[in-house]
Amino acid sequence: MNADQHERLAEQLRDAFEHQQALRIRGGGSKAFCGRAVQGVALDVRGHCGIVEYQPTELVITARAGTPLLDVQAALAEAGQMLPFEPPQFSPDATLGGVIACGLSGPRRPFTGAARDVVLGVGMVNGRGEVLRFGGQVMKNVAGYDISRLMTGAQGTLGLLLDVSLKVLPTPVCERSLRADMDVADAIVAMNRLAGRPLPLSATAFDGEVLWLRLSGAEPAVAEAMEALCGEIFVEVEELTGQQFWRDLRERQHRFFSGDDELWRLSLPAASPALDLPGRTFYDWGGAQRWLKTNAEAGAVHVAINKVGGHATRFTSDGAVAQPLSPALAALHQRLKQAFDPVGILNPGRLYEGL
């Protein structure tokens, strides 16, 4: 599928601007739960789709926001390349625009960067219905403010994404997983010590009992690292088991995520010791992203996370609730929102009340 509907989308936004009509931007609907619920007229971007440009030797792909993530990944795979940030899909319907708007990254994130790290440029429509382009299709570009990265993770509240240009990387030739039984304190230290060594790591996680590592890269590099680590306390994991573990973690389908307790995402300095909270914790990103299943009060979680200088997101039946911003930062966010969306038509309330 390849269709350029940017004029129609811009027209719809101009209309909404004139009538102060709130819009609820949607792609595949796979990530609706990643923000707060939005009241507004649904605006579907899936009709605006297709890969616009892709030359593997440039390491850049440009695709329209409505392009299914799977299509982008298939095109890259054909040329032996990948999206470095290992985005979660959550459903085959996921679109590229949704992935970038939500700014989600998978287990590879601490080693090859987040969604925002690979965003080189965007085409977008702001809340006035104006079509704008920032950044471009080149690796380095410091002309003007970095509005393309600002759009990443803004969940459509500052602009509707039309297309994005992303830096891509060669897919590692070789990928192997290792495991070792450990207690939590040792696991946190081990993950961070390992990340401080020049090893071809591409993921480290701790499920509460077992520390998991993934090595990716050229054959000799991975072989050398395997040898060093297996001499220590690690054992190799069977290939399919390893792949499934990382996929389940990325897609939040690991059995850890089941059960009735509330799910929280904690983001904090990787080496922070285990937080003193009831429930179960799963450690990804070397400990910098932790999943918490708990029946603790929200207040208790915030006290614990504030102590280590992190932030917490709570997944409720009404969507994800992010950590409140300080009053000064909240005011700055409001002014930025105003700058892009003066009458508040773009996914109002999706990120925070009033944003």
Partner 1 sequence: MTAASPQAALAQRFRAFLPDSSILVTETERRPYECDGLSVYRRLPLLVVLPEDINQVQRVLRICAELAVPVVARGAGTGLSGGALPLTDGVLLSLAKFNRILDIDPLNRTARVQPGVRNLAISEAVAEHGLYYAPDPSSQIACSIGGNVAENAGGVHCLKYGLTVHNIVQLGIVTMDGEQFTVGGTGLDAPGYDLLALMTGSEGLLGVIVEVVVKLLPVPDTAQVLLAAFDDVVPAGDAVGRIIGAGIIPAGLEMMDNPAIRAAEAFAHAGYPEDAAAILLCELDGSRAEVETDVMRVRKLLAQCGAREVRIARDADERALFWKGRKAAFPAMGRISPDYYCMDGTIPRHRLPEVLSGIETLSRDYGLPVANVFHAGDGNLHPLILFDANRPGELQRTEEMGGKILELCVAVGGSITGEHGVGMEKINQMCSQFSAAELTQMHAVKAAFDPAGLLNPGKAVPTLHRCAEFGAMHVHDGQLPFPELERF
Window 116 to 135, contacts with partner 1 (CB under 8 A) = 116-117, 126, 130-134
Nearer to partner 1, 16 or 188 (CB): 188
Pair 85, 112: CB distance under 8 Å? yes
Count, residues near partner 1 per rule CB under 8 A = 86
Full 3-state SS string of the chain: CCECCHHHHHHHHHHHHHHCCCEEEECCCCCHHHCECCCCEEEECCCCECEEEEEHHHCEEEEECCCEHHHHHHHHHHCCEECCCCCCCCCCCCEHHHHHHHCCCCCCHHHHCCHHHHEEEEEEECCCCCEEEEECCCCCCCCCCCHHHHHCCCCCCCCEEEEEEEECEECCCEEEEEEEECCHHHHHHHHHHHHCCCCCEEEEEECCCEEEEEEEECHHHHHHHHHHHHHCCCEEECHHHHHHHHHHHHCCCCHHHCCCCEEEEEECCCCCCCCCCCCEEEEEHHHCEEEEEECCCHHHHHHHHHHCCCEEEEEECCEEECCCCCHHHHHHHHHHHHHHCCCCCECCCCCCCCC
Q: Does 55 bind partner 1 (CB under 8 A)?
A: yes
Nearer to partner 1, 96 or 114 (CB): 114
Using the contact rule CB under 8 A, the part of the chain among 24-32, 42-50, 90-98, 194-202 near partner 1 is 194-202
Q: How far apart are CA 219 and CA 106, in angstroms?
A: 23
Site string (278-317) toward partner 1, x via CB under 8 A: -------x--xx-------------------xxx-x----
Residue 209 CB, shortest distance to partner 1, in Å, is 22
Q: Does 174 bind partner 1 (CB under 8 A)?
A: no
Nearer to partner 1, 142 or 240 (CB): 142
Q: Does 353 bind partner 1 (CB under 8 A)?
A: no
Q: Does 114 bind partner 1 (CB under 8 A)?
A: yes
Residue 92 CB, shortest distance to partner 1, in Å, is 26
Q: Does 354 bind partner 1 (CB under 8 A)?
A: no
Q: Does 249 bind partner 1 (CB under 8 A)?
A: no
Residue 144 CB, shortest distance to partner 1, in Å, is 5
Site string (83-112) toward partner 1, x via CB under 8 A: --------------------x-----xx--
Residue 302 CB, shortest distance to partner 1, in Å, is 12
Q: Does 142 bind partner 1 (CB under 8 A)?
A: yes
Nearer to partner 1, 2 or 338 (CB): 338
Residue 135 CB, shortest distance to partner 1, in Å, is 8
What are φ and ψ of residue 254, in 5° steps?
-55, 150
Using the contact rule CB under 8 A, the part of the chain among 33-41, 179-187, 189-197, 238-246 near partner 1 is 189-197
